Amino acid sequence: MDTSWFVVLSAFIFCIGAAGVLTRRSPLVILLCLELMLNAGNLALIAFSRMAGNQDGQVFALIVMVVAACEVVIGLGIIVAMYRRRLPIDVDAMSELRG
Amino acid sequence: MLFEQILFFIAGLGAIGGALGVVMLRNPFYSVLSLVGHLIALALLFLLLRADFLAAAQVVVYAGAVMVLYVFVVAYVGGSDEPLRPEGGGVSALGPLFALALFVELTIAVVGSSLGALDSPGRDIAAGFGSPGEIGKLLLTDFLVAFEAASFLLLVAAVGAVVLARKRRGLEDPETAPGVMSAHDAISGPKEAAR
């Protein structure tokens, strides 16, 4: 398969994730959509790594996976803390810092 | 190669379907399950790109461990259904439009680029391309600093998650803290005080 197929597929998945982040209101689902966007980036990195015949892109993708795992852990910790304080699990309602 | 093309379209449709499921499904629990399917389809695509180790890591670490964490939190918080669009929000309808425009722009950028190698399946590669041994060698030689920084980042994240999610005794008990008796108070309290 040509590399451009993989890159266009990755762009499509990235845009689905971006639409989810913009339209959904539950922070849980927004974290899931962020995962979609990060994975689309990973797919593009690996496709380019295959195109160049160089494995550096795969190591980059591995580091992106580590950062995504850290982001998930902290995000879920914040959601659990919100639930403990009986705050609404809704990003539109969390507007105290708007100023 | 016909077999690779068939596999690409099956895995690509699976990945797109999983991604659409994450965004469209209203119950967060089904969204998580849909993401698991998306990740497995993506691992198949990684295999097509000769990234064997990353495909295995994707299935074991992502679809296995991280998604279990998600399922636990959804079960704990009680993932309630939510309306897809907020009521009367005119701006939120622009979200999918913006995503569509982004996709068109990215596609034009890819198709219109003068990078000739994009229209080739890639360079010839050695037999061990993307195997655990090769990736491990790279991680311990060229990318040692990034590797150590990633392990330190994981440690910081683990400690941070424990600090964020632990039960606070005495200092900030949600039952006795002023202004956070209920969700309504938590939102309107500080604003009332500011006036």
Q: How far apart are the first and last CA of chain B?
A: 70
Domains of chain A plus CATH, in order, are: 3-90 (1.10.287.3510)
The pLDDT of residue B127 is: 80
User: What pTM, to 2 d.p., does this model score?
Assistant: 0.84
Encoded amino acid at A49, one letter? S
Q: What is chain A's Cα-based Rg? A: 17
Instruction: Tell whether B104 is covered by a domain.
Output: no
The pLDDT of residue B79 is: 61
Closest CB from A26, A50, A69 relative to B122: A50
Residues of chain A with pLDDT under 70: 99
Q: What's the Cα-to-Cα distance from B113 to each of B52, B109, B149, rounded to whole Å?
A: 29, 6, 35
The pLDDT of residue A99 is: 60
Instruction: Tell whether B27 is covered by a domain.
Output: yes
Angle, to 10 degrees, between the axis of helix A56-84 and the axis of helix A27-52?
Answer: 180
Tell me what ipTM this predicted complex has. Answer: 0.91
Query: What is the residue-level pLDDT of chain B in tens, covering all 195 positions?
Result: 788 899 999 999 999 999 999 999 888 899 999 999 999 999 999 999 999 999 999 999 888 888 999 999 988 887 666 655 554 466 667 888 999 999 999 999 888 887 777 777 777 777 888 889 999 999 999 999 999 999 999 999 999 998 987 876 655 555 544 544 455 544 544 444 444
- Residue B156 is part of which domain span? 128-167
Q: What is chain B's Cα-based Rg? A: 23
Instruction: Indicate the residue among B47, B81, B115 that finishes a domain.
Output: B81
Instruction: Tell whether B159 is covered by a domain.
Output: yes
Instruction: Tell whether B92 is covered by a domain.
Output: no
My answer on whether B69 and B11 are in the same domain is yes
Closest CA of chain A from B30, distance in Å:
10
Distance CA B137, CA A52 (A): 19
A contact residues 39-98, partner B, Cβ 8 Å cutoff: 39, 42-43, 46-47, 49-53, 55-56, 58-59, 61-63, 65-70, 72-74, 76-81, 83-90, 92-93, 96
B contact residues 127-166, partner A, Cβ 8 Å cutoff: 129-130, 134-135, 138-139, 142-143, 146, 150, 153-154, 156-158, 160-162, 164-165
The pLDDT of residue A83 is: 86
Locate the chain B residue with the closest alpha carbon to A81: B165
